[in-house]
């Protein structure tokens, strides 16, 4: 498949950890096994989470592991005009509306309705501002997850997880596409940029699988192509949750890159590869990937 374009899209909130290398490696192997291109995109929109220097550290860690973008990495903070334009198009189509609710207010409504027992349960936006702001100042912009009075249900197929479905209205609720702090939401930016970069295949961690229906919904609304999706197994931290900075994930150790790659490959259910160099390891791993994940 000559037209394959894949990507790895790290957030520069810190160095890569063991879990992020799994996603990076999987997306790279899938691209190479398909004879395709592999791009890196720096997702730096959530400025409060950005860490100074993280982008260079991430690109350095990737390079040591032999994973180098086929083009100059795309940096999302340079793409604001494109997100503005997408939002205008969605507004013109009557798909977005301003919301004046704070997080606390959303929570209070859900508690009152008996939908929220515990503080950190997934919050399904109850549609408070759908019918208008009722005098409240606008904070964020939300995307409708209903068509008239019908819930929108997205059905899709993941190359590893199989058939999936999600009722967006009931499981997510109208979701934020532009935040109260003016920052464009990940869901909108990722869809605009996957299309802009011509991404045909998305390979990323399973923690993002439940975001995919929101992204597919946006692609369909905007008439954008739908990439194929493969969500990779996660690396778990000592607390049993997905490895993240919050549960003490330490920076990926690239002092022995073949060992680091080997560890990531085990998570991807690839056999152990005996190789002396990163290049040699990667080409053997590309064949193993094809045999395991490409039918």
Contact status, residue 142 vs residue 99, Cβ threshold 8 Å: yes
Q: How far is the CB of 34 from ligand GLU (least distance, A)?
A: 18
Q: How far is the CB of 217 from ligand GLU (least distance, A)?
A: 15
Q: How far is the CB of 23 from ligand GLU (least distance, A)?
A: 7
Which uninterrupted H or E stretch holds 158?
strand 153-158
| Cα–Cα nearest to 40, from 57, 65, 62, 18 | 62
Using CA atoms, how far apart are residues 69 and 39, in angstroms rounded to an integer? 5
Nearer Cβ to ligand GLU (9/67)? 9
For tokens 């890159």, name the residue.
Answer: 257
Please, where are the H alpha helices in 43-184? 54-64, 80-92, 103-112, 168-171
Nearer Cβ to ligand GLU (76/286)? 76
Q: How far is the CB of 172 from ligand GLU (least distance, A)?
A: 16
Nearer Cβ to ligand GLU (97/186)? 186
Q: How far is the CB of 255 from ligand GLU (least distance, A)?
A: 24
Nearer Cβ to ligand GLU (173/227)? 227
How wide is the angle at C-alpha 259 spanned by C-alphas 254 and 264, nearest 5°? 90
Nearer Cβ to ligand GLU (69/128)? 69
| Cα–Cα nearest to 109, from 123, 88, 130 | 123
Using CA atoms, how far apart are residues 46 and 55, in angstroms rounded to an integer? 13
Q: How far is the CB of 293 from ligand GLU (least distance, A)?
A: 17
Nearer Cβ to ligand GLU (75/208)? 208
Q: Which residues lie across from 41 on neighbouring strands?
A: 74
Q: How far is the CB of 246 from ligand GLU (least distance, A)?
A: 13
Using CA atoms, how far apart are residues 182 and 170, in angstroms rounded to an integer? 26
Using CA atoms, how far apart are residues 144 and 135, in angstroms rounded to an integer? 20
Helix axes 186-196, 80-92, angle to 10 degrees: 100
Q: What is the DSSP string of 216-264?
A: HHHHHHHT----EEEEEPPPB-TTSSBP-GGGTPPPP--SSHHHHHHHH
Nearer Cβ to ligand GLU (11/128)? 11
Binding region for ligand GLU (CB under 6 A) = 9-11, 43, 190, 204, 208
> Which two structure tokens, joined as six digits, stand for 93?
């189509």
Q: How far is the CB of 11 from ligand GLU (least distance, A)?
A: 4
Nearer Cβ to ligand GLU (206/280)? 206
């Amino acid at each position: 498949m000559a037209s394959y374009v894949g990507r790895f899209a790290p957030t520069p909130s810190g160095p890569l950890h063991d879990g992020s290398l799994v996603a990076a490696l999987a997306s790279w192997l899938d691209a190479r096994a398909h004879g395709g291109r592999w791009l890196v995109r720096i997702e730096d929109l959530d400025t409060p989470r950005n860490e100074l220097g993280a982008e260079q550290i991430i690109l350095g860690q990737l390079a040591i592991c032999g994973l180098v973008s086929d083009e100059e990495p795309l940096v999302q903070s340079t793409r604001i005009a494109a997100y503005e334009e997408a939002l205008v198009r969605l507004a013109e189509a009557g798909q977005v509306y301003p919301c004046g609710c704070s997080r606390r207010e959303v929570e209070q409504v859900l508690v009152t309705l008996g939908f929220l027992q515990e503080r950190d349960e997934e919050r399904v936006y109850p549609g408070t501002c759908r019918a208008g702001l009722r005098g409240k100042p606008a904070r964020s912009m939300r995307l409708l997850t209903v068509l008239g009075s019908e819930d929108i249900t997205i059905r899709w197929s993941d190359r590893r997880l199989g058939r999936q479905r999600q009722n967006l209205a009931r499981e997510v609720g109208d979701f934020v596409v532009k935040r109260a702090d003016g920052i464009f939401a990940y869901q909108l930016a990722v869809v605009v940029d996957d299309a802009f970069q011509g991404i045909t295949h998305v390979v990323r961690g399973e923690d993002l699988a439940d975001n995919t229906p929101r992204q597919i919904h946006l692609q369909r609304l905007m008439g954008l192509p739908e990439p194929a999706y493969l969500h990779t197994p996660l690396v778990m931290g000592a607390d049993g949750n997905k490895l993240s900075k919050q549960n003490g994930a330490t920076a990926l150790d690239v002092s022995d890159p073949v060992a680091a790659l080997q560890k990531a490959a085990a998570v991807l259910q690839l056999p152990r590869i005996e190789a002396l160099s990163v290049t040699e390891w990667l080409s053997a791993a590309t064949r193993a990937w094809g045999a395991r994940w490409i039918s």
